[in-house]
Amino acid sequence: RERARLAGGGGPGRTADGHPVKLLLNIGSAADLGPDAADAEGVGLFRTEFLYLDRRQPPSFDEQVAAYAEVFARTSLVVVRTLDAGTDKPLPFLGLPPEPNPALGVRGLRVDRVLPGVLDTQLDAIAAAARDTGATPWVMAPMVTTVAEATDFARRARARGLTQVGAMIEVPAAALQAEELLAELDFLSIGTNDLSQYTFAADRQHPGLADLLDPRQPALLKLIALCAEAGHALGKPVGVCGEAAGDPLLAPLLVGLGVTSLSMAPICVPAVRDELSRHTLEECRRLASL
């Protein structure tokens, strides 16, 4: 297995006129940092739930520290997403009762309401892995819905010495409050998979509703624009880490809306890099004009 650090081989992504856009990776473990990862600048979405899948017991603190440290040792920019359990990512060990509407129920950060120890242990393990490796990981929570949730998450992460704290924007309510949220945080990362699902009230896994989930729709683009504008107003990064970020046809449009990074499956990086290099920032903005 390729053990090299991510070097950002091709440097940042750039538009034809040189406007930089960070190209980052979505991974589930260090095993995803194979040879085709070397072109990226870092990890924009480390989905930690893979560590918890198919288990009756949660991973131990030490097991978590080792898994996080393995990724932190490989790249200086890693955005760790805390556990996103529920709905399309069922985790049996949590023992949560079945719900009539799991996508609208106790999932993502909301699991903390019923099982607070899970998030606290995970934040402890991320902080310990950061100390062990000398890394400065960024940490973000999934399914943040209100400013109060963002504030509470940030307080708990910072209390452990984690200095770069953010939220995923996956719920329209959070996008509508992007500036208020970002005032409490260091960055936002837009999860277009769930943000589409919740904006269009269409199950992201329903094959018959794919047309409703098309991210080119103005309603979704307006929400992304709100987040990007909040980032510009406060001088803080706002990226996209949903599937849309890895689609070469959408990447210039997202850049035109004002996002500062695109995080995607490693295999998508070359095509996105190539497509961005063919459009000036002005052309990207025209594509995005609503």
Scan residues 47-76 and list those touching ligand PEP (CB under 6 A): 47
- When asked if residue 243 is in the footprint of Mg ion (CB under 5 A), the reply is no
Strands 13-14 and 20-27: antiparallel
For tokens 């973000």, what's the residue? 140
Secondary structure letter of residue 88 according to DSSP: T
Interface mask (CB under 5 A) for Mg ion, residues 118-157, using x and -? ----------------------------------------
110 is a site residue for ligand PEP (CB under 6 A): no
Number of residues near Mg ion (by CB under 5 A): 3
Q: Residue 170 interacts with ligand PEP (CB under 6 A)?
A: yes
User: Which option in ligand PEP, Mg ion, none does residue 184 bind, with CB closer than 5 to 8 A by kind?
Assistant: none
* Shortest CB 189 distance to Mg ion, Å: 10
Q: Are strands 138-141 and 78-81 parallel, antiparallel or unpaired?
A: parallel
Where does this chain touch ligand PEP (CB under 6 A) — which range of 120-128, 187-195, 249-257, 282-290?
Answer: 187-195
- Residue 133 makes contact with ligand PEP by CB under 6 A: no
Which of 42, 191, 252, 256: binder of Mg ion (CB under 5 A)? 191
For ligand PEP, which residue of 42, 59, 191, 239 counts as binding (CB under 6 A)? 191
Amino acid present at 37: A
Segment interacting with Mg ion (CB under 5 A) among 13-21, 171-179, 188-196, 233-241: 188-196
**Residue 286 CA from chain centroid, whole number:** 26
Question: Using the 8-state DSSP alphabet, how is residue 35 labeled?
Answer: G
Q: Residue 154 and residue 164: Cα distance in Å, rounded?
A: 9
Contact partner at residue 247 from ligand PEP, Mg ion, none, CB < 5 to 8 Å by partner kind: none
Examine residue 184 and tell whether it contacts ligand PEP (CB under 6 A): no
Does 247 bind ligand PEP (CB under 6 A)? Our answer is no
215 is a contact residue toward Mg ion (CB under 5 A): no
Among 13, 42, 215, 242, binds ligand PEP (CB under 6 A): 242
Helix residue spans in 216-280 (DSSP H): 218-234, 251-257, 269-276
Contacted by 64, from ligand PEP, Mg ion, none: CB < 5 to 8 Å by type: none
CB 194 to Mg ion: min, Å? 4
Q: Which does 261 bind (CB under 5 to 8 A by kind): Mg ion, ligand PEP, none?
A: none
For residue 81, the minimal CB distance to ligand PEP (Å) is 7
Measured CA to CA, the distance from residue 220 to residue 288 in angstroms comes to 12
Joined together, the tokens standing for residue 181 give: 């949220």
Question: Residue-wise over 80-90: b if at least 16 C-beta within 10 A, else e?
Answer: bbbbbbbbebe
Rounded distance between C-alpha atoms, residue 29 and residue 180, angstroms: 32
| Long-range CB pairs of 151-155, under 8 A, 24+ apart, other chains included | 151/184, 153/109, 154/184, 154/185
Q: How far apart (Å, rounded) are the C-alpha atoms in residues 37 and 127?
A: 25
Residues 140 and 175 sit within 8 Å (Cβ to Cβ): no
**What residues line the site for Mg ion (CB under 5 A)?**
170, 191, 194
**What residues line the site for ligand PEP (CB under 6 A)?**
45, 47, 84, 170, 191-194, 241-242
